[in-house]
Amino acid sequence: MKRREFLSSSLALAAAGVAPRNAQAAEGSIEILMDEPVGRIAPEFHGQFTEHLGGCIYDGIWVGENSKIPNEGGIRKALVDRLRQVELPVDRWPGGCFADSYNWRDGIGPQAERPVRTNFWANTRELWKAPDGPQKYEPNTFGTPEFMRFCQLTGAKPYFAANVRSLTPLDFYQWVEYCNSPAGSTTLAKQRAADGSREPYNVLYWGVGNESWGCGGNFTPQEYSTEFRRFTTWVANFGMRLHFIGSGPGASIEDARVDWTRGFFEGLAANDKGLLRWMYGLSLHYYCGTTGNGSSIDFDLPGWYQMLWQANVMDSIIPKHWLAMGEIDTDHHVKLVVDEWGAWHKGPSIDPRYLFSYPPSLRDALVTGITLDTFNRHAEKLAMCNAAQLINNIHTSFLALEDRFTVTPIFWVFDMYKAHRGGHSLRFVADAPSISYTYEGKNRTLWGLAGSASLHQKEKKLVVTVVNPRASEERTTGIVLRGASARSGRATVLTNTDIHARNTFERPDTVHPTEEPANVSGSRFTWTFKPASVTKLEIDLA
């Protein structure tokens, strides 16, 4: 049997949970195929999403210029510093569902004169008893000029989501004009100057609606394809090729919702296939949910494994949509933009006003590692990905409550995986005894190791990231570099002896990566992956 055949057959057996366990050594194995590049890992795979939802904008990002909380032009300084550290590549704003109820005109001009509106989320059951505040009644203090200030401070590219449900193509056109028309050229350019920026913002990424099958208008895919055409035809581009992102499916564990992708693409290409050229990316949302009682911090061992299993479903969702897109967009001009993803628990929130502000644990850090590795392994299919959401929200990298602030374990995974950016993802094959567990009465199986690898040709460097999901067993693993040889290396490991570990305002360093030299050389070496860990190996190649 040839090597590839052996690998694929043993992997298929392991995936099916029928691998002869006793026949497998306790060791795992990883093979990295240097001559099988998958695609470039765009920095944009590590984007974030910030919605006017709960404490994400007000208190999370925006504390106000006169606040005693250290800020830069009203924006929380501790957050800016951390985002500079992690080099946030792109941020999506203002929603989410909020986007399709938002009038961008409310968020420009003098802040004191901006109208107060009911926030899209104000009537959510969880907020009925919560005190009123900017989370319920949108003061519009944070609008386009403030979001652009946030982007300029952090270095992130802006990605706007436009309102398709309740505004018109003309409003969209004029938001583009407000942002991008040359200095002094139009009434809106003069308004932008009065708001603080004479020069255009040159916003490239424009989402055309959000979840248009649901909160974004309850459209059918065919209806939405008509809207997409109306909104994107002949928008003034001011010398840029605007990147329009179509509203894509909301996938779930049970259903990838390929019907939406297929219907939308068919609708768009019905009379003129060339219209697909207007679309840069198709958005895809996948929240991997929660387990058991829905708590982000109180779960049992089956809940630990099940959560990781649910995160891994992303690995099958991406190719399903890619195949459906390819039926019509045969040269794959349009790429996927996974602009909402993460674990979505039910509680506990850090403050009753801050909807969905769950403290993430080490388990969510592993969800992040699994997901970012999945993106790397599908690099050729993706243009951008945005974790939902940046701060005080669903799959959050930061928690903030007035003058208190902490990074979460999720932040550290983004910080570690930054090393992959700009590299070429390589074919990565892992094999390790699978894990059997019982969740809600059903026997289930999870793989024993997973990860990704990227080659950085100029630096002669290989970056390997691996998740070991076993809660209490380390995994000694033989690593083979096919077509390269290691000279030296460094390891960064994120783990904790308690799988529930998390960072709190009082103890912000509980989950923190450690660094150590890695004794790696030649084209074969072994590495022991700690239990419940995310590991990065940075390998200098000979």
User: Which residues are identified as catalytic?
Assistant: 211, 340
Pick from 262, 265, 257, 180: which is nearest to 228 by CA? 265
| Angle, CA of 36, 379 and 468, to the nearest 5° | 85
Is 90 within 8 Å of 47 (Cβ atoms)? Answer: yes
As a whole number of angstroms, the distance between CA 304 and CA 343 comes to: 12
As a whole number of angstroms, the distance between CA 463 and CA 480 comes to: 14
State in angstroms the smallest separation of the CB of 389 from ligand AHR: 6
419: helix, strand or coil? helix
Nearer to ligand AHR, 201 or 341 (CB): 341
Pick from 96, 116, 59: which is nearest to 353 by CA? 59
Site string for ligand AHR, 283-322 (x = CB under 6 A): ----------------------------------------
Is 135 within 8 Å of 55 (Cβ atoms)? Answer: yes
As a whole number of angstroms, the distance between CA 96 and CA 113 comes to: 25
Query: Parallel, antiparallel, or unpaired for β 424-431 and 382-388?
Result: unpaired
As a whole number of angstroms, the distance between CA 178 and CA 175 comes to: 5
Pick from 266, 280, 374: which is nearest to 319 by CA? 374
For residue 515, give both structure tokens: 């660094």
State in angstroms the smallest separation of the CB of 207 from ligand AHR: 10
**Strand partners of residue 539:** 462, 489
370: helix, strand or coil? helix
Write the CA distances from 122 to 114, 125, 233, 396, 510, integer angstroms. 19, 9, 34, 21, 34
Could you say whether residue 138 binds ligand AHR (CB under 6 A)?
no
Instruction: For tokens 């690898």, name the residue.
Output: 453
Nearer to ligand AHR, 44 or 211 (CB): 211
Instruction: Please identify which residue in 28, 54, 94, 96 interacts with ligand AHR, judged by CB under 6 A.
Output: 96
CA dihedral 228, 168, 140, 118 (to 10 degrees): -100
Nearer to ligand AHR, 181 or 283 (CB): 283
Nearer to ligand AHR, 120 or 428 (CB): 120
Instruction: Please identify which residue in 28, 95, 267, 489 interacts with ligand AHR, judged by CB under 6 A.
Output: 95
Interface positions, 312-371, toward ligand AHR (CB under 6 A): 340
User: Of 151-159, 188-196, 388-396, 487-495, which part binds ligand AHR (CB under 6 A)?
Assistant: 388-396
Instruction: Please identify which residue in 388, 484, 499, 520 interacts with ligand AHR, judged by CB under 6 A.
Output: 388
Site string for ligand AHR, 48-87 (x = CB under 6 A): ---x------------------------------------
Site string for ligand AHR, 507-536 (x = CB under 6 A): ------------------------------
As a whole number of angstroms, the distance between CA 432 and CA 135 comes to: 46
Instruction: Please identify which residue in 59, 91, 146, 211 interacts with ligand AHR, judged by CB under 6 A.
Output: 211
State in angstroms the smallest separation of the CB of 358 from ligand AHR: 12
Q: Is the dihedral of CA 169, 173, 174, 179 positive or negative?
A: positive
Nearer to ligand AHR, 149 or 285 (CB): 285
Instruction: Please identify which residue in 97, 337, 338, 481 interacts with ligand AHR, judged by CB under 6 A.
Output: 97
As a whole number of angstroms, the distance between CA 373 and CA 385 comes to: 12
Interface positions, 429-448, toward ligand AHR (CB under 6 A): none
Q: Kindly write down the DSSP assignment for every residue of 258-317, as one continuous string.
A: HHHHHHHHHHHHSS-GGGGGGEEEEEEEEEEE--TT-BSS---HHHHHHHHHHHHTHHHH
CA dihedral 89, 95, 99, 103 (to 10 degrees): -70
State in angstroms the smallest separation of the CB of 425 from ligand AHR: 27
Instruction: For tokens 């990860």, name the residue.
Output: 451
Nearer to ligand AHR, 119 or 454 (CB): 119
User: Of 91-99, 437-445, 458-466, 531-539, which part binds ligand AHR (CB under 6 A)?
Assistant: 91-99
State in angstroms the smallest separation of the CB of 516 from ligand AHR: 37
Nearer to ligand AHR, 394 or 501 (CB): 394
User: Of 90-98, 111-119, 324-332, 530-538, which part binds ligand AHR (CB under 6 A)?
Assistant: 90-98
Site string for ligand AHR, 156-195 (x = CB under 6 A): ----------------------------------------
Ranked by CB distance to ligand AHR, the top (closest) residue is 96
State in angstroms the smallest separation of the CB of 255 from ligand AHR: 15
User: Of 129-137, 229-237, 375-383, 386-394, which part binds ligand AHR (CB under 6 A)?
Assistant: 386-394
As a whole number of angstroms, the distance between CA 504 and CA 359 comes to: 8
Nearer to ligand AHR, 130 or 188 (CB): 130
For residue 498, give both structure tokens: 């308690």
Instruction: Please identify which residue in 311, 394, 430, 520 interacts with ligand AHR, judged by CB under 6 A.
Output: 394
Query: Parallel, antiparallel, or unpaired for β 279-289 and 335-343?
Result: parallel
State in angstroms the smallest separation of the CB of 102 from ligand AHR: 11
As a whole number of angstroms, the distance between CA 37 and CA 40 comes to: 8
Nearer to ligand AHR, 125 or 241 (CB): 125
Nearer to ligand AHR, 284 or 308 (CB): 284
Side-chain-side CA neighbours of residue 362 (13 Å)? 27
Contact residues: ligand AHR, CB under 6 A: 51, 95-97, 210-211, 340, 388-389, 394
